[in-house]
Structure 1
Amino acid sequence: MDMKLGLYENRINDRLNQWDEINMLDRLRQKDLSLWNTRKGEVTDMLGWLSLGKSMSSQLDDILEFSDQMCNEGFTKAVLLGMGGSSMASCVFKQTLGSAEGYLDLIVLDSTHPDTIRNVTDTIDISNTLFITSSKSGETIETLSMFRYFWDEVQQSVTDPGRHFIAITDPNTPLAKLANQRNFRKIFEANIDVGGRYSALSAFGLVPAALLGIDIRLLLTRAFNDWDVAKKTEQQGGLILGAALGEFTIAGRDKATLIMSDSLRSFSLWAEQLIAESTGKDGRGMVPVVREPWIESEEYGQDRVFVGLSLEGEQWNVAERLDELAADHPTIHMIMDDPISLGKAMFEWELAIASAAIIMEIDPFDQPDVQATKELAWDLVSNVKSRERRSHDINTFYLDEPDELKEAAEEWIREAQPDDYISIQAYLSYDNDIRDGLRLLQRDILSATGLATILDQGPRFLHSTGQLYKGGLGTGLFLQLVEYMNEDIPIPDTDYSFGTLTSAEALGDIIVLKDRGRRVLRINLGREGSEGIAKLRDLLNVMFQTEVIPIMA
């Protein structure tokens, strides 16, 4: 690990020495909850992830046997239905390690937007597709809605639909009961003492990884080798990273900006959830900034720390970028030996964020502010009158009313202060043109303001950065983009649709943000898609010339 810590080096070394003095490593292995001293005086007992190297080893034969069975029966594709911690690690495994020859290809579906549902449906052949219904609580509304839709699709095509479904969930959840009722071919029970964002090396990550043909024995062994033998904190990269990130955060450098080498780009989205949902609470938080366009080093504020993760052999671009930044900002560079060391990197980051939370004096294992949005979203989905009434509580601005939109945008951006951040929350169809347009919008805002600028895809981020945005410092400005959906899809056995669900989640989220005193701006792009984003960019860029640069100078 290459670290250029500047003025912070002594305080980080002091922290590591202090951890050695209190026998930090041994106390973590013993799952000593007293390490975390929080305002509420107690910490959620969810430390099972520290011993997954042992607890999962007994399940590997069963997982591998199931994977072989699926291949032998002719299944060629798996679709994972899940949100947040139930899906993100699988996405990283697929995009980083790929699918081995003869094993299943994997699609991770973590969006309820009708266009995304439709695109997945058009991509697969039901007859050779396995659906992985993945939810720790077993009651995630998005996951169960996706299940209902695909169950209906499958039972129209085959006589035994349960043969095409498995579940990954905690024991005795509503999903487990549903799986038994519908005769799913298998239920993988998850560890009840492992939270979603710390579950990459549990059944939630290892079952999909095995279906991809990844060597999960080696993945798990590599993950815990150093952990099992380390005697001091300096021998455990996760604790070194945690000490650094924790100290940077309490010193005001709370924007952890991640830079990944090409093959590890998806890792940043997994780390984003881990950081945001673990630390964004009690009016505190570390803000993960991922996939942000680059600007000159001196244009960034003094609230940044840059963390790079590279694969051996492709680290040079990341190293060069970090060298450019090191004159003005602290930098950290971690290099993975090989792709199968991905599990080790995940465990080190889990350890880093949990230990940084000790310094921040927060509980990294709960998510107290996520539930408020879930409850409100369900009320808005199930109650038309409530949805209509609450929609009037939020001002929505439109492209065909440019004067009103420009005035609202000016008022919104005038509230920006140094060390704030901006989140673009896009509840839009995600085709290539829209994705490219949003990236350009992100670049425009970053260049004009110098503020950390985050691009969030809704509703995915509700299970990721959503906790930070509601429970953290309150230094965010939120730009929500919604649209009129061209063609909706009803959800079987309910009285709502995917479009209704997505719209209700967007409305519920911005209501909660506003109720928490956050600075919000909501814009409806109509049905203009990427052209609407281009129009919005033109309007904002005119505004930036007069409104933003003088404020942020």
Structure 2
Amino acid sequence: IAIANAKIAYARFEEIFSGDRWERLASGGAHEQRPLWASTGTKNPSYPDTLYVDSLIGPRTVNTVPPATLTAFLDHGATEETLRLQRDAARRELEQLARHGIRLEEVAAQLQAEGLEAFDRAFHALLDGISAKATQLGGRWFPSKPQLGEIDRSVEEALQEIHARKVVSRIWAHDHTVWSDSEREISDRLGWLHVADAMKKALRALDRFAAEVHEEGYRDALLLGMGGSSLAPEVFAKVFGPLASGGLSLTVLDTTDPEPIQSCTERLDPTRTLVIVSTKSGTTEETLSLLRHFYQWKRRSLGKGRTGEGMVAITDPGSPLQRLAEAYGFRRTFLNDPTIGGRYAALSHVGLVPAALTGMEVGRLLDRARAMADECHAQEENDAAWLGAVLAACAAQGRDKVTFSATGAIAPFLDWVEQLIAESTGKRGQGILPVVGEPMVGSDLYGDDRIFVDLRLFGDSSDNESLRTLRKAGHPVIQRWFADRYDLGREFFLWEFATAMAGHRLGIHPFNQPDVEAAKARAREAVQAYRQSGRLPEDPAHRPSGDALPTFLRQAKPGDYVALQAYVAPREDVDAALQQLRATILGTYPVATTVGYGPRFLHSTGQLHKGDGGNGLFVQIVSDAVQDLPIPDGMEDSASSITFGT
């Protein structure tokens, strides 16, 4: 059929480019568009290896022949003009095909679409390869290793042990003994190693889903989630935004403060907003409270029968959220791989469903992740293994404050890295503290508990002087370059693998979060107790005063850190005030500072705060809600026994 179709196409070519009309065009300088027979190798071994060369010979044609086929043709091909032979037989074959119900036009359209997609992927892979090589030549790591005497030797010894014990290959083999004698929450938490390959198979479905909701008039997406369910989507929303006319504007809501909840309620149109509810367990109290509020918000505009059309769930199979979504007729439930933990889920449905809705090229992101995964198979010259060894060696020698900086569009990535490291390593009386967004100060104000990591887009040389000053002062500085924003795919996987390797070196189980789970259980208990009694526990608090905070902070000693935990509405003016407070603390006391909005930080850095060596000083900033909002007791129950501001 392919040869018959080519012969009829060639006949049409000769008809178009002949006669008086064509001669007039040619005399005016027109050029004919010659038929091109593309990639004419033979894939079916039962066919002659020169079939698509021998059968497609004719004047004014082009044949792009694979090298092996060209060699075969030179050896035993037939040089006869064949395209003009048996045209009537070719027409009969095509007519017979139609009588069997096969529409050649539809087949050709599908093949053309698939071919264009393949060429597009190949073209972007070529560009990505050039970018990656340019970045490599420009120094993706600068310097490649920190030169710090004992730490440098410790890293080299660690890499030798990693190689001798075949740790990299054991990780890929899902060997739980890399981290623990028990396989509990390890053997069933390693799906992230292969998620990029798995999600490539889901790309078409994601693209169709994104196109479908846009065609139906949705213009915004509102994601409700906490911790690992919200941080990667937030990275995509901030780094990429709505990229094209087909992309939705994504808002991530991971707070219970009434002010931003009310803002979303007023700003968004319930008839044109797709609400995405994301929770691995399906039981996260904050997320389910937000779900009940926004379900009723949509119901008031759409009516009971249509509310579910604008609701989407992302959860594990068999979770309470899956059952709830089925009961209330949600538009779609994406069941995530249950062997992927929340903070390792950026490249799964958790991150990629929202990413696809923004109009991102999700396939391009996954290609970068797959390239890094391939690199992470290497037993030697493995960037992720090296990085994990550095983090662990520094932590073992007291440099357990990884101070991050990032420039430009990639800065939002740091909030995701913060949770990954803190929740993975903060347990059993130790941990690595990620310090994100801290104001830069003079190198003399940093203690010897620091290691610095700088992330930036390739070619960005801003603030290099500060990094040089830190190196001169003896601090380890690692610099990581992004070829472009889609290198997020590489970095997600690299930091996951590096964190898992650091856990191995420190003797820490990097995939569980016992204190976070306990906090979630206590939150559910507290909510239930309040509904029954109407009272909250009484805790001592200090009104702001001139000496209360300084008196508290004077306890700080080298190696400690101050965590500002702000249970207030996230706003730009609040951000600025918290940053000013951090700068003041940093300039007065020899300690690192972190900031987290509540309750968000409980699902991000909370595990480290509870599980590390106890060297944190915690300042909680609270305020009364100016405008409170009730939390519905049920999906369709207007009664409320508790509010978001409680």
What corresponds to 1:84 in structure 2?
227
Secondary structure of residue in 2 paired with 1:334:
strand
Pick the aligned partner of 1:412 from 544, 552, 555: 552
Pick the aligned partner of 2:425 from 279, 291, 295.
279
CA distance in 2 between partners of 1:471 and 1:307 (Å): 24
Q: State the alpha-carbon separation in 2 of the partners of residues 318 and 217 from structure 1.
A: 33
CA change 1:226–1:397 in 2 (3 A) is closer
2:604 alignment partner in structure 1: 464
Match of 1:4 in 2: 146
Correspondence for 1:59 among 202, 214, 218: 202
Query: Residues of 1 paired with 2:455 and 2:345: CA distance?
Result: 20
Report the alpha carbon displacement of residue 387 of structure 1 after superposing the two structures with TM: 7.6
Q: Which residue is 1:93 aligned to?
A: 236
Q: Deviations over 1:121-161 (max 9, x none)?
A: 12211111100100000011111111100110101001301
The 8 Å contact of residues 422 and 431 in structure 2, kept in 1 or not, is answered as yes
Instruction: Tell whether 2:469 aligns with 1:324.
Output: yes
Distance in 2 of aligned mates of 1:463 and 1:230: 28
Equivalences for residues 229-240 of structure 1 within 5 A: 232-240=378-386
The 5 A counterparts of 1:475-486 are 475-486=615-626
1:390 offset after TM fit, Å? 2.8
Which has the higher mean CA deviation after the structures are superposed, 439-448 or 320-329? 320-329
Structure 1 residues 24 and 318: CA distance shift in structure 2, 3 A: farther
Matched residue of 1:325: which SS? helix
- Checking the alignment, whether the CA contact within 8 Å between 2:369 and 2:489 is kept in structure 1 is yes
**TM-superposition CA deviations, 1:171-222 (whole Å, max 9, x none):** 0111101100110010000110000000000000010010011111111111
Asked if 2 retains the 8 angstrom alpha-carbon contact of 1:90 and 1:205, the reply is: yes
In structure 2, what is the Cα distance between the partners aligned to 1:383 and 1:306?
Answer: 44
CA contact (8 A) 1:259 1:318 kept: no
The corresponding residue for 1:364 is: 510
- Quick one: which of 174, 185, 192 aligns to 2:320? 174
Q: Which aligned pairs between 1:149-548 and structure 2 lie closer than 5 A?
A: 149-159=293-303, 160-228=306-374, 232-314=378-460, 316-317=461-462, 319-328=464-473, 329-384=475-530, 388=535, 390-391=537-538, 394-399=539-544, 402=545, 406=547, 408-493=548-633, 494-500=640-646
C-alpha contact 1:116 1:429 (8 A) present in aligned 2: yes
Task: Determine if contact 2:631/2:644 at 8 Å carries over to the other structure.
Answer: yes
Q: Residue 375 of structure 1: CA displacement?
A: 2.6
SS in 2 for 1:390: coil
Alignment partners' CA distance in 2, 1:487 and 1:283: 40
Change (3 A) 1:281 1:229: closer
Is the 1:259–1:307 Cα contact (8 Å) retained in structure 2? Answer: yes
Unaligned runs of 5+ in 2: 1-140, 634-639
Report the AA paired with residue 212 of structure 1: T
DSSP-derived class of the 1:415 partner: coil
Question: Cα 1:279–1:70, aligned 2, differ >3 Å: closer, same or farther?
Answer: same
Which residue of the partner structure matches residue 281 of structure 2? 137
Q: Deviations over 1:510-543 (max 9, x none)?
A: xxxxxxxxxxxxxxxxxxxxxxxxxxxxxxxxxx
Distance 1:219 1:324, change over 3 A: same
Deviations 1:243-289 (A, max 9, x none): 11011111110000001112111111100000100000011100010
Q: Which has the higher contact order (CA 8 A, sep 6+)?
A: 1
8 Å Cα contact 2:414/2:436 also seen in 1: yes
Give the secondary structure class of the aligned counterpart of 1:456: strand
Q: Structure 2: how far apart are the matches of 1:81 and 1:389?
A: 25
Is the 8 Å Cα contact of residues 227 and 236 (structure 1) preserved in structure 2?
no
Structure 1 residue ranges, 4+ long, deviating more than 4 angstroms after superposition: 40-43, 385-389
TM-aligned CA deviation for residue 168 of structure 1: 0.3
Q: Can you give the 5+ residue segments of structure 1 that lack an aligned partner in the other structure?
A: 501-553
Amino acid at match of 1:61: R
Distance in 1 of aligned mates of 2:155 and 2:408: 30
Offset at 1:335? 0.4
Inter-partner Cα distance in structure 2 for 1:419 and 1:371: 27
CA contact (8 A) 1:36 1:43 kept: no
Q: SS at 2:630's partner residue?
A: coil
How many residues are paired up? Answer: 491
Change (3 A) 1:180 1:449: same
Alpha-carbon separation, structure 2, partners of 1:161 and 1:5: 59
Task: Classify 1:259/1:311 alpha carbon distance in 2 versus 1 (closer, same or farther; 3 Å).
Answer: same
| Match of residue 30 from structure 1 | 173
- Whether contact under 8 Å (1:84, 1:273) holds in the other structure is yes
Question: In the alignment, does 2:193 pair up with 1:50?
Answer: yes
* Paired residue secondary structure (2:514): coil
The alpha-carbon deviation at position 71 of structure 1 amounts to 1.4
Q: CA deviation at 1:230?
A: 5.3
Q: More displaced, 321-330 or 450-459?
A: 321-330
8 Å CA contact 2:375, 2:382 repeated in 1: no
Post-superposition offset of 1:225: 1.3
User: How many angstroms apart in 2 are the aligned matches of 1:62 and 1:367?
Assistant: 32
Do 2:236 and 2:355's aligned partners in 1 also have CA atoms closer than 8 Å? yes
CA contact (8 A) 2:445 2:586 kept: no
Cα separation, partners in 2 of 1:238 and 1:463, compared to 1, 3 Å: same
**Residue identity matched to 2:196:** G
Inter-partner Cα distance in structure 1 for 2:355 and 2:610: 33
C-alpha deviation, 1:234, in angstroms? 4.1
Cα 1:225–1:389 change in 2 (3 A) is closer
Equivalent pair of 1:423/1:453 in contact (CA under 8 Å): yes
State the 1:411 CA deviation. 4.4
d(CA) in 2 for partners of 1:169 and 1:468? Answer: 25
Task: Check whether the contact 2:447–2:590 (CA below 8 A) recurs between aligned residues.
Answer: yes
Q: Given that residues 176 and 183 in structure 2 are in contact (C-alpha distance below 8 angstroms), is that contact kept between their aligned partners in structure 1?
A: no
Secondary structure at the counterpart of residue 489 of structure 2: helix
Partner of residue 534, structure 1: none
1:379 maps to amino acid: E
Question: Between the two proteins, what is the percent identity of the paired residues?
Answer: 39
Pairwise CA RMSD of aligned residues?
1.7
Distance 1:303 1:195, change over 3 A: same
**Alpha-carbon distance change, 70 to 449 in structure 1, aligned in 2, over 3 angstroms:** same
The code of the aligned residue for 1:390 comes to P
TM normalised by structure 1 equals: 0.86
Q: Which moved more, 1:376-385 or 1:294-303?
A: 376-385
Larger radius of gyration: 2
Partner of 1:71: 214
Cα distance in 2 between the residues matched to 1:256 and 1:145: 34
**Structure 1: how far apart are the matches of 2:584 and 2:298?**
44
Shift in Å, 1:72? 1.2
CA contact (8 A) 2:404 2:452 kept: yes
Contact 2:418–2:435 (CA under 8 A) maintained in structure 1 = yes
